[in-house]
Amino acid sequence: MTDTPDPTRPTAPAAPAAPLDVAGLQRRLAEFAAARNWQSYHTPKNLVTALSVEASELVEIFQWLTPEESARVMDDPDTAHRVGDEVADVLAYLLQLCEVLGVDPLAALSAKIDRNEHRFPV
């Protein structure tokens, strides 16, 4: 008996030819949306709403788990796949929101860490 791949389950992506970077991912997301004429739907309001929905879908995976169960969530391949998909969805909408608003996500995060280090000194 041969194993037939599940066509509803995406295969692991091939290793990228070049290192991943935020600008490259944002460019790919913009090209994906443009090819489907979705740009008019990518308003800040719509993107932040979609981001919230996807974050809620990530929360749903963990909702009824104990702290111990949540620490082992990646041990189950199906759950790990779901977590990865939802993390990707959250990041995709966040990167698209940053692109539309002109926010450099890495600079914003770095500045926030700096502020937190001053607010919460050791």
pTM of the model: 0.82
CB contact burial 97-114 (16+ within 10 A = b; e otherwise): bbbbeeeeeeeeeeeeee
Give the separation between CA 57 and CA 114, rounded to whole angstroms. Answer: 30
| Burial state string for 17-44 with b = 16 or more CB within 10 A and e = fewer than 16 | eeeeeeeeebeebbeebeeeeeeeebee
- The CATH code that applies to domain 42-119 is 1.10.287.1080
What is the amino acid identity at position 37? N
pLDDT at 101: 98
Task: Count Cβ atoms below 10 Å from residue 93 Cβ, excluding itself.
Answer: 22
Span 5-63, pLDDT tens digits: 565 665 556 655 678 899 999 999 999 999 999 999 999 999 999 999 999 999 999 99
- pLDDT at residue number 25: 96
Where residue 37 falls (left for φ over 0; alpha for ψ -120 to 50; beta otherwise) is left
Give me the chain's average pLDDT, please.
Answer: 92
CA-nearest of 20, 19, 29 to 97 is 29
CA 23 remoteness from chain centre: 15
For tokens 């041969």, the residue is 2
